[in-house]
Every structure is written in structure tokens, then in C-alpha cells.
């Protein structure tokens, strides 16, 4: 079902690697055959800092490495390894649907010739927030007036899990233990945009992934991305991307 870009295809022992910088909230892609890739995986296992998950429908193993904000923790704050099969006891069993859905988006993003690294980073961070047993990250310095790191992770995870649903900002604020006004101001300081704008951008990013990797109708894509009407989806997509979704899909093929 899934296949990685040729530069990221993996061998049995050396999975492709996504390095997630927890301080910058960014992601970088590395091929599985780079020097030290195998040592990194074993180091994470040795420190009990790795969560291993089986995805039966994945054609490749994929390693997410979360690097701490502080240079003192240079080996990283932990990792998640998605495996095609379970090689031993560390692998976890059936995963929540949100984990599988986010993993699907991640693999689909990496299939493209030019992976959307901001999208990869967002999905990787959301996975870190919701995967059971993932080692707690070292907290980066909190932006003055912004969200605490745990609130930021919870807000992102809450919205990522509900991209296909309608919900008020107050629900996200409640999940973070803040009033709506406080949450909205803090979210904007931390993320650079208000919650509603961030959510719309993520829904459009998900729509792009679905348009590129599936033959779903525009109406179904709209519903899967939280838009009640195709016309609203088309307006937002066109305003954000610069092309209507149908035209964009033809250029992406």
C-alpha cells in the first residue's frame, strides 16, 4: 500500500529516518543507508527510548527520531519505529485509529518526489503526543506568553485527530486547561497563527495528500477534511493554494 521515495527506500535493517527537531518543530529526511543509521536505532533501543509499532500494510520500516531542544541531549529525546512485522517483544499491538490514520498521512507524504516537510513535522509531533508509551520529550524553551510545550502538543494532537470533524476552539482550550481568549493568544504566539487558521491550513494539507494519493471525489475529500460543503472547501483551497482542488490534482499527477 505504501512506498517511499526512491531516496528513502529502506533495507530490512536500516529504515528510512525522519529527524524531528523539538525546538524548531521541523523535520528533516535521511536515507536509511546513511552512516550510523543502524547505530542510532540500536542506541534508542538500548536507552529504552524507542516505541515500536507494527503496521501490516506498510511496505517499509520508518523511524521517527525526536531530537531534544537542548544540545546536551544530542542523541535525541526518543523515537517511534513503524515496522512491517514484529521482530520481538517491544512491538506494540493494535493501535488507536488516530495513530494509524496519522501514520498513513506520513507515509503518503513521503511517497512524493518532494515531501512536504512541514506536514511531516506536524504529523510526527501529533504522533508523539498520542502514541502510548512514547518517551516524554525534553521541553523546549516556552515562547513568552505562548503555550507550555505539553499544551502545544495536546492542542495539535486534539485537532489532528479531528480534522474531519467540526468542533469549537473552546473544546481545544478546555483540553489545554485554558480560557478561549488565553488559549487563542497563547496559540498564536507559539504557532505563528491563530487556531482557526492553523486548522484550515492543516485541513488543506491533508486534502492535498488525499488528492495526490487517492481517487476520492472532491466531495468526499471535502468531508474527510472537515468541510461540510464542497463549495466551501473549494473556496478555502483556492485561496490557500492558488488553484481549485481539481486543477491542483491534475498538476500534481
The alpha carbon of residue 54 and the mean position of all alpha carbons in its chain are separated, in whole angstroms, by: 17
Using only C-alpha atoms, the chain has a radius of gyration, in whole angstroms, of: 18
Query: To 10 degrees, the CA torsion angle through 126, 97, 42, 72?
Result: 20
Which of the two residues, 206 and 114, has the higher pLDDT score?
206
**Shortest CA distance to 150 belongs to which of 123, 190, 119, 120?**
190
Q: What is the largest CA-CA distance in the chain?
A: 52
User: What tens digit of pLDDT does each residue of 225-253 get?
Assistant: 999 899 999 999 999 888 999 999 988 76
Could you tell me what percent of the chain has a pLDDT over 70?
75
- Domain segments of the chain: what residues? 6-130, 149-192, 197-252
- Over residues 23-41, the pLDDT tens digits come to 777 888 876 555 555 667 7
pLDDT digits (tens, 9 = 90+) for 212-223: 888 999 999 999
Query: Is the confidence at residue 192, as pLDDT, over 50?
Result: yes
pLDDT at res. 51: 86
pLDDT at 14: 61
User: Which CATH number applies to 197-252: 3.30.420.310, 1.10.10.60, 1.10.10.10, 3.40.50.880?
Assistant: 1.10.10.60
Residue 141 pLDDT more than 60?
A: no
Distance (Å, whole) CA 225 – CA 227:
6
The stretch 157-177 carries a mean pLDDT of 91
Mean pLDDT of the chain: 79
What pLDDT score was predicted for residue 238? 93
DSSP count for the chain of H helices, then E strands: 10, 6
How would residue 75 be classed by pLDDT, with cut points 50, 70 and 90?
very low
Amino acid at each position: 500500500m505504501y512506498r517511499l521515495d526512491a531516496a528513502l527506500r529502506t533495507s530490512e535493517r536500516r529504515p528510512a529516518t525522519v529527524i524531528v527537531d523539538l525546538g524548531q518543530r521541523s523535520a528533516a529526511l535521511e536515507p536509511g543507508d546513511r552512516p550510523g543509521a543502524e547505530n542510532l536505532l540500536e542506541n534508542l533501543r538500548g536507552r529504552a527510548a524507542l516505541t515500536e509499532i507494527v503496521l501490516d500494510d506498510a511496505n517499509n520500516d520508518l523511524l521517527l527520531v525526536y531530537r531534544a531542544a537542548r544540545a546536551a541531549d544530542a542523541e535525541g529525546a526518543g523515537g517511534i519505529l513503524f515496522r512491517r512485522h514484529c521482530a520481538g517483544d517491544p512491538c506494540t499491538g493494535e493501535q488507536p485509529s488516530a495513530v494509524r490514520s496519522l501514520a498513513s498521512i506520513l507515509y503518503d507524504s513521503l511517497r512524493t518526489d518532494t515531501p512536504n516537510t512541514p506536514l511531516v513535522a506536524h504529523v510526527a509531533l501529533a504522533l508523539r503526543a498520542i502514541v502510548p508509551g512514547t518517551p516524554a520529550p525534553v521541553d523546549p524553551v516556552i515562547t513568552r506568553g505562548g503555550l507550555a510545550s505539553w499544551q502545544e502538543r495536546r492542542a495539535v494532537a486534539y485537532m489532528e485527530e479531528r480534522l474531519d470533524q467540526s468542533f469549537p476552539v473552546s473544546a481545544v482550550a478546555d483540553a489545554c486547561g485554558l480560557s478561549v481568549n488565553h488559549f487563542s493568544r497563547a496559540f498564536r504566539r507559539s504557532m505563528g497563527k491563530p487556531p482557526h487558521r492553523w486548522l484550515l491550513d492543516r485541513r488543506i494539507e491533508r486534502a492535498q495528500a488525499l488528492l495526490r494519493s487517492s481517487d476520492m471525489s472532491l466531495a468526499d475529500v471535502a468531508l474527510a477534511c472537515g468541510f461540510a460543503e464542497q463549495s466551501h472547501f473549494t473556496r478555502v483551497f483556492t485561496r490557500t493554494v492558488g488553484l481549485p482542488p481539481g486543477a491542483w490534482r491534475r498538476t500534481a499527477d
